[in-house]
Amino acid sequence: MSRLQGKTAVVTGGGTGIGLGAAKRFVEEGAFVYLFGRRQEALDAAVAQLGSSARAVRGSVTDPADLDRLYDAVKAERGGLDILFANAGTGSFAALGEITPEHYDQTFDVNVKGVVFTVQKALPLMGKGASIILTGSTTGVMGTPQFSIYSATKAAVRNLARSWAMDLRGTGIRVNVLSPGPTRTELALEVVGEEAMESLGGTTPIGRVGDPAETGAVAAFLASSDSSFMTGGEVFVDGGFAQV
């Protein structure tokens, strides 16, 4: 397949997990991909996998200067941007009585503020036909014990897409949300644990945990012209977890 031939993509949180799964698929379909993340070792390993069609830029979505450096590199080296996958995120458990200002600030800074400025700063490089993909979550539409702050950030992301679809009216730029369910990523295993992750996957109608490659395939669809009549929407890649 070459649906993304000649396209330029940025994937935040691209060194591992769903971000890397999407980056692999983007490259397979012809795109050049910039991976953006905080851990240089993970970024280097990802670029080694992806080859000459990928480049890594280290930084945090919570730091405007880091985002400026990323987009300056994209502009200087590629001239513009066709695909933005705003995927970087974080989360940890805290029951209502255990939520701290630090927990709240960290989660909202990465998952909401980071998304806002990742997208805002990319817009000058994007034009007609460009696609913005935001990572949501099944938690954005479900109640999840001890996970209210993370869940609230993902509900916020969903509304950002709805509102931005209106803001972007007439530009030819589309924005959609990709919402994974239980997926085998490093972050998910760190937060939930192996046993709980497998148990969670077993509760889905499909009966298993998802693979980042499966989410990456849907990200490629949203990035391509195959989804040209989609904006402001949400696509669940969750094995039916939040659907039944």
Say which CATH number the domain at 171 has.
3.40.50.720
Structure tokens at 173: 């730029």
Q: How confident is the model at residue 185 (pLDDT cuts 50, 70, 90)?
A: confident
Is 1 inside any structural domain? no
Residues 6+ apart with CB under 8 A from 89: 13, 110, 111, 135, 153, 187
Is 12 inside any structural domain? yes
Percentage of the chain exceeding pLDDT 70: 100
Query: Which range of residues forms the domain containing residue 222?
Result: 8-237
For residues 63-72, give the mean pLDDT.
Answer: 98
Active site (annotated) includes residue 104: no
In this predicted structure, the answer to whether residue 221 has a pLDDT above a threshold of 80 is: yes
- For residue 121, the model assigns a pLDDT of 98
In this predicted structure, the answer to whether residue 124 has a pLDDT above a threshold of 80 is: yes
Q: How confident is the model at residue 141 (pLDDT cuts 50, 70, 90)?
A: very high
Is 107 inside any structural domain? yes
In this predicted structure, the answer to whether residue 194 has a pLDDT above a threshold of 90 is: no
Q: Any bridge partners for residue 54, and if so which?
A: 33
Number of neighbours of residue 167 by Cβ within 10 angstroms: 12
Catalytic residue among 7, 24, 71, 154: 154
Is 36 inside any structural domain? yes
For 13-22, 92-101, 165-174, 191-200, which range has the lowest pLDDT when averaged over its residues? 191-200
d(CA 56, CA 58): 6
In this predicted structure, the answer to whether residue 114 has a pLDDT above a threshold of 90 is: yes
Is 2 inside any structural domain? no
Residues 6+ apart with CB under 8 A from 74: 8, 10, 34, 80, 81, 125
Per-residue pLDDT of 37-55, as tens digits, reads 999 999 999 999 999 999 9
**Helices (H), ranges, 17-62:** 17-28, 40-50
Is 3 inside any structural domain? no
- For residue 21, the model assigns a pLDDT of 97
d(CA 37, CA 136): 18
Burial degree of 211 (CB within 10 A; 0-12, 13-18, 19+) = middle
Output the CA torsion sign for 71, 74, 76, 80: negative
Alpha-carbon distances, residue 177 vs 154, 155, 231, 243 (angstroms) = 10, 11, 9, 16
Is 46 inside any structural domain? yes
- For residue 91, the model assigns a pLDDT of 94
- For residue 133, the model assigns a pLDDT of 99
Tell me how many degrees the CA angle 62-65-71 measures, rounded to the nearest 5: 100
- For residue 195, the model assigns a pLDDT of 85
In this predicted structure, the answer to whether residue 168 has a pLDDT above a threshold of 80 is: yes
**How many CA atoms does the CB half-sphere of 208 hold within 13 Å?**
4
Is 164 inside any structural domain? yes
Number of domain units in the chain:
1
Catalytic residue among 7, 34, 71, 150: 150
Active site (annotated) includes residue 121: no
